[in-house]
């Protein structure tokens, strides 16, 4: 590698560090799968935190689902090993929800994910 290429390589490496952190949830279901009651993203469904917000990406159909902030919070908990019973309490422990709006949004979102076959339990 020539000395002139070093800064270019370093810039790509920094970008790759950011990308790999954005794609860091891909292996999470493998570490949480042993929790038998845990909710799981369906196979080939990946979670990505992009600059414009979070998305679910179905790699076979290449469909992309843009998530609301509540949706992203739900998926993060699913990837961390949440089950149907403790998902809402985990969310409430992390986020203010005096109006109960997040709870109802989260319930509707989980139902929607299951209906679309993106989430299994």
Q: How far is the CB of 103 from another protein (least distance, A)?
A: 28
- CB within 8 Å of 78: residues ≥ 6 apart: 38, 39, 40, 41, 87, 119
Q: Which two tokens stand for residue 99?
A: 């109006």
Helix (H), strand (E) at residue 53: strand 53-58
Q: Which of 4, 5, 7, 28 binds another protein (CB under 8 A)?
A: 28
Does 29 help bind another protein (rule: CB under 8 A)? Answer: yes
Helix (H), strand (E) at residue 58: strand 53-58
d(CA 32, CA 39): 9
Among the listed ranges 31-39, 85-93, 95-103, 108-116, the one in contact with another protein (CB under 8 A) is: 31-39
Does 83 help bind another protein (rule: CB under 8 A)? Answer: no
Does 34 help bind another protein (rule: CB under 8 A)? Answer: yes
Q: Which of 4, 5, 13, 117 binds another protein (CB under 8 A)?
A: 13
Q: Which of residues 44-63 bind another protein (CB under 8 A)?
A: 44, 59-60
64 contacts 56 by C-beta, under 8 angstroms: yes
Question: Which stretches of the chain bind another protein, using CB under 8 A?
Answer: 1, 9, 12-13, 15-17, 19-21, 23-34, 36, 40, 43-44, 59-60, 120
């Amino acid at each position: 590698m020539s000395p002139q290429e070093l800064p270019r390589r370093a810039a790509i490496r920094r970008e790759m560090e950011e990308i790999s952190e954005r794609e860091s949830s891909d292996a999470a279901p493998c570490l949480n799968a042993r929790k038998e009651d845990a909710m799981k993203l369906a196979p080939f469904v990946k979670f990505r935190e992009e600059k414009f917000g979070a998305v679910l990406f179905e790699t076979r159909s290449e469909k992309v689902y843009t998530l609301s902030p509540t949706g992203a919070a739900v998926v993060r908990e699913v990837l961390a090993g949440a089950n149907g019973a403790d998902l809402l309490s985990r969310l409430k422990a992390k986020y203010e929800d005096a109006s109960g709006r997040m709870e109802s949004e989260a319930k509707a979102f989980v139902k929607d994910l299951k209906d679309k076959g993106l989430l299994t339990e």
